[in-house]
Structure 1
């Protein structure tokens, strides 16, 4: 066999690296989603809600 099977130390290192990568990826995705995306979406929605309320108030007057 040209390539030796993954065993022992290499397997543990591979699992550790994959676990760390997936964990950090998940953490960074949550940081982006709840730290940037959600607040910007709420700010956008509030802006358009305010514009709509102003437009409705002008039409009633």
Structure 2
């Protein structure tokens, strides 16, 4: 036989591609979530908390 069969290469490549894609997706998802979303959410919550405290102080509550 002049050409070797290519059995297993497609499966190995698919597993590698999926592993890399899922790993990078998870890494970048965490980077977005904890690097951008959580700090922005905390900043927003702190802003509204400060506004609410100012309102309560003005009303004497």
Q: Unaligned 5+ residue runs, structure 1?
A: 1-6
- The runs of 5 or more residues in structure 2 that have no matched partner are 1-6
- 4+ residue runs over 3 A deviation: none
User: Corresponding residue for 2:44?
Assistant: 44
Partner of 1:29: 29
Alignment match, 1:11: 11
Taking structure 1 as the reference length, what is the TM-score of the superposition? 0.85
Corresponding residue for residue 53 of structure 1: 53
